[in-house]
Amino acid sequence: MANSKFEYVRNFEQTDSLLPNTWIVVRVDGRAFTKMCAKYGFEKPNDRRALDLMNAAAKAVVTDLPEAMIAYGVSDEYSFVFHKSYNLFERRASKLVSTIVSTFTANYVYSWPTCFPGTPLSFPLPTFDGRAVCYPSLQNLRDYLSWRQVDCHINNLYNTTFWSLIQLGGLDNKEAEKILAGTLAAEKNEILFSKFHINYNNEPEIFKKGSVIFRDYELVDPGSHAVDLEMDALAEPVQQSKTQAEKDKKKRAKARVVVEHIDIIKDEFWDKRPWILS
């Protein structure tokens, strides 16, 4: 298109490219979901329909953007991980975050009637915010994911005990809060077991561990194939060649995208699936 005298305004755009050679995590989080829970009567502490809906939306994002290596979801949030060598949207933060947030939100709204049959959406519609964070080492990235999964566990143990005291114990919010103030995990387990005969270990994995989305290839015997990814990565160029990136993308686009509720803190998950971060 021909230049116009107005074209100079383009120079006002700020560059916001994410640091090269770092793992990118984009986390989306539901806006004012505490209100959403009340409005749509989410079951407390865990509404399975709402979790299934988050997973459906996140699965659509991972399927739509084969560059997403793995995603982790809990409550009203989902984190999407992009390989440090990827150059998607020239690593421009606003393009990456806004594309993920809008893909996620569009799919959340689209899948609502499937997960909440008989409960039509009304205004204000569900929306999500998003942010991108760069992690320079694989250890930082693993620690990020561990942080989210530990958070899931801590919150779920608290919420399960809190809501048992209310729903089964007949207490009000204030009384339940008071009983739980300053308690350790073991004490919450004990309250659940002695008062309500609930063994926390038997709670559904999706509540205790959250949800992990990844591409499923064949499992690898960790003994024979595990590689020290960090060391291996030292030899890698900062960016993949275009043809290699295209090949990888095609392979990933064909693989099955799965949702599991599984520990990602220990090495086992990663050792068995070395392709996820390689």
Please give the residue ranges that form the binding site for Mg ion (CB under 5 A): 29-30, 33, 75-77
Of 2-10, 37-45, 56-64, 255-263, the window that binds ligand ATP (rule: CB under 6 A) is 37-45
Q: Burial level of 243, CB count in 10 A (0-12/13-18/19+)? A: exposed
Which position among 18, 40, 57, 75 is part of the footprint of ligand ATP (CB under 6 A)? 75
In the list Mg ion, ligand ATP, none, the entry touching 44 (Cβ below 5 to 8 angstroms by class) is ligand ATP
- Our CB check for Mg ion shows the closer of 28 and 115 to be 28
| Residues 40-59 contacting ligand ATP, CB under 6 A | 42, 44-47, 50-51
Residue (of 238, 93, 69) closest to 141 by Cα position: 69
Structure tokens that stand for 256 in this block: 């099955």
Q: Looking at this protein, which amino acid is placed at residue 254?
A: K
Q: How far is the CB of 14 from ligand ATP (least distance, A)?
A: 19
Distance, in Å, from the CA atom of 276 to the CA atom of 184, rounded to the nearest integer, reads 35
Distance, in Å, from the CA atom of 237 to the CA atom of 13, rounded to the nearest integer, reads 30
Identify the three-state secondary structure at position 199.
coil
Which letter does DSSP use for residue 175 in this model?
H
Give yes or no for residue 105 binding ligand ATP (CB under 6 A): no
Give yes or no for residue 32 binding ligand ATP (CB under 6 A): yes
Task: Count residues near ligand ATP (CB under 6 A).
Answer: 16
Q: How far is the CB of 116 from ligand ATP (least distance, A)?
A: 11
Distance, in Å, from the CA atom of 134 to the CA atom of 19, rounded to the nearest integer, reads 7
Q: What residues are paired with 82 via a beta bridge?
A: 24, 68
Of 30-38, 57-65, 131-139, 235-243, the window that binds ligand ATP (rule: CB under 6 A) is 30-38
Structure tokens that stand for 232 in this block: 């291996």
Q: How far is the CB of 137 from ligand ATP (least distance, A)?
A: 28
Q: How far is the CB of 36 from ligand ATP (least distance, A)?
A: 7
Q: Burial level of 250, CB count in 10 A (0-12/13-18/19+)? A: exposed
In the list Mg ion, ligand ATP, none, the entry touching 46 (Cβ below 5 to 8 angstroms by class) is ligand ATP
Question: How many helices and strands in the chain, by DSSP H and E?
Answer: 11, 6
Structure tokens that stand for 139 in this block: 């250890």
Give yes or no for residue 33 binding ligand ATP (CB under 6 A): yes
Give yes or no for residue 37 binding ligand ATP (CB under 6 A): yes
In the list Mg ion, ligand ATP, none, the entry touching 38 (Cβ below 5 to 8 angstroms by class) is none
Q: Are 138 and 84 in contact (CB under 8 A)?
A: no
Contacts with ligand ATP by CB under 6 A lie at 29-34, 37, 42, 44-47, 50-51, 75-76
